[in-house]
Amino acid sequence: QVPYVGASVRQVEHVLSLLRGRYEKLEDLGSGDGRIVLAAHRCGLRPAVGYELNPWLVGLARLHAWRAGCAGSVCYHREDLWKVSLRDCHNVCVFLAPSVLPLLEGKLQAELPEGARVVSGRFPLPTWQPVAVVGEGLDRVWAYDVHGGGPGGQAAPAPSSALVPRAPDPQAA
């Protein structure tokens, strides 16, 4: 039940800058019209997969991929993000509403492997400390790295060691 608002060109650029030098699988949870998946594929993140519940947006994403000549190279699934396994994913992108993010933190922590990176656009993960923040205002994007820890080898967010202050909550003011 997250409203669709397409990522801006600047937001896509920021996501890609935070994924630079990473080449493993990317999964975009709530991929909308697929623009981040397509851009990630073009930058070498393979495979690049999008998950979206809205059938119209999945169709639009597939059309964009076909027009770009990448229909056989990227994948879009009409699937609930809560049912997607992230156990083999090293790069996750989310542009979701703040109300969903606390629940998503638990899923990410439980499923992501050590070394995974999560990139969140528009809103930060509520309790994780970012390792990098790029952009201003609505174009701001946060990156989080996952390190081993916790019971049963579950992934857990790393304490921030970067010299990047936690960005203020855009809802506050």
pTM, whole model, 2 decimals? Answer: 0.84
The domains found in the chain, sorted by start residue, are: 9-152 (3.40.50.150)
Residue tagged 């909308």 (tokens): 32
**pLDDT at position 148:** 67
The SS3 of residue 16 is helix
Strand stretches in the chain, DSSP E = 26-29, 48-52, 74-78, 91-94, 117-121, 132-134, 141-148, 155-157
pLDDT, tens digit, 9 for 90 and up, residues 27-44: 999 999 999 999 999 999
- Residues of the chain scoring pLDDT < 70: 1-2, 148-173
